[in-house]
Amino acid sequence: MKAAADHLASVTLELGGKSPAIIDSNANLKDSAKRVAFGKFLNNGQTCIAPDYVLVEDKIKEPFLQELKKSVAALFGQDGVVDETSPSYSRIVKCEEFSRLNTYYRTPSKKGQRLN
């Protein structure tokens, strides 16, 4: 902002906050799952509006997860299975980045994260 102000240039700042998706028992699970899947996987999640996490009521957790799996498969696969060769499926193109991200996936955080 300082550099832009010195030159009277307009600027847009990316604040990079967290974007939760909240799903309660009144939600249409199919529509909610489609929207969460689209928002999260658009450009491999690299958009400022991509949901970072989903808060779901316990009693609808499993049905929501099933709908979410169907929605992801519908975006990137066939017959309920994600096709990793799909041209619509984004990829990590650097081996170093893949290794770094895979370490995060394989090592739960100290904050109580669980891998299911």
User: What domains sit in the chain, N to C, each tagged with a CATH number?
Assistant: 15-106 (3.40.309.10)
CB distance 20 to 32 below 8 Å: no
Does the structure show a pLDDT above 70 at 81? yes
For 53, phi and psi rounded to 5 degrees?
A: -160, 165
What average pLDDT does the segment 9-26 reach? 82
Task: Please answer whether residues 70 and 78 qualify as being in contact, where contact means their C-beta atoms are separated by less than 8 angstroms.
Answer: no
pLDDT given for residue 112 in this prediction: 61
pTM higher than 0.85 for the full model? no
The pLDDT of residue 50 is 87
Cα–Cα distances in angstroms (integers) from residue 40 to residues 43, 45, 59, 74, 110, in the given order:
8, 5, 23, 14, 24
Q: Is 4 left (phi over 0), alpha (psi -120 to 50) or beta?
A: alpha
Can you give the pLDDT at residue 17?
66
- pLDDT at position 59 is 96
- So which residues are the catalytic ones? 14, 48
Kindly state the average pLDDT of the residues 49-74.
92
